[in-house]
């Protein structure tokens, strides 16, 4: 990974933001070996287009407020699969049907899973 501390910090911020808006089934993968310009993929599921958009917006706002620069955003208008590219971290927020259809976890199954402490993230969010 190019800057593991930065990528992992962004991951925890993004995970916290996703959980705060009802994001489910969070999975983080270390994709730095096959993709040298990216460190981590965060994959999140929302239960409707409105929920996918809310999750993506919250993640984007949280990372921007923390001083991270967004490189690219795609899919926000349809809100079935929103991609947020923050350089070291790429977030994929899927509607449940799209997540199953595209199966990113299957495509990147050889990449190690990066732990996310969702319980701690959720507890922090609940107490705020």
pLDDT tens by residue, the chain, 128 residues = 345 568 999 999 999 999 999 999 999 999 999 988 899 999 999 999 999 999 999 999 999 999 999 999 999 999 999 999 999 999 999 999 999 999 999 999 999 999 998 655 444 444 44
Q: Residue 89 is inside which H or E element, if any? A: strand 89-95
Tell me what pLDDT residue 117 has. Answer: 80
Question: What pTM did the predictor assign?
Answer: 0.87
Q: What pLDDT does 4 receive? A: 56
The pLDDT assigned to 118 comes to 65
Looking at residue 36, what is its pLDDT?
A: 85
Q: What is the pLDDT of residue 81?
A: 97
Domain ranges of the chain: 4-127
CATH no., domain 4-127: 3.30.460.10
Task: Give the pair of three-digit tokens for residue 40.
Answer: 């981590």
Burial of 103 (0-12, 13-18, 19+ CB in 10 A): exposed
- Answer for the pair 113, 25: CB distance below 8 angstroms, yes or no: no
Residue 89's CB: how many other CB atoms inside 10 A?
24
Q: Which residues contact 105 (CB under 8 A, 6 or more apart)?
A: 27, 29, 43
Tell me what pLDDT residue 86 has. Answer: 96
Distance (Å, rounded) from C-alpha 103 to C-alpha 86?
21
**What is the rounded distance in angstroms from the CA atom of residue 60 to the CA atom of residue 70?**
8
């Amino acid at each position: 990974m190019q800057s593991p501390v930065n990528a992992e910090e962004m991951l925890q911020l993004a995970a916290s933001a996703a959980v705060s808006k009802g994001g489910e089934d969070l999975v983080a993968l270390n994709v730095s070996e096959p993709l040298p310009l990216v460190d981590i993929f965060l994959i999140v599921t929302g239960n409707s287009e409105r929920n996918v958009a809310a999750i993506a917006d919250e993640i984007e706002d949280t990372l921007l407020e923390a001083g991270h620069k967004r490189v690219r955003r795609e899919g926000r208008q349809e809100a079935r699969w929103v991609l947020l590219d923050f350089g070291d971290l790429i977030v994929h927020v899927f509607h449940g049907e799209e997540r199953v259809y595209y199966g990113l976890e299957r495509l990147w199954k050889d990449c190690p899973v990066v732990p996310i402490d969702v319980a701690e993230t959720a507890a922090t969010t609940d107490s705020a």
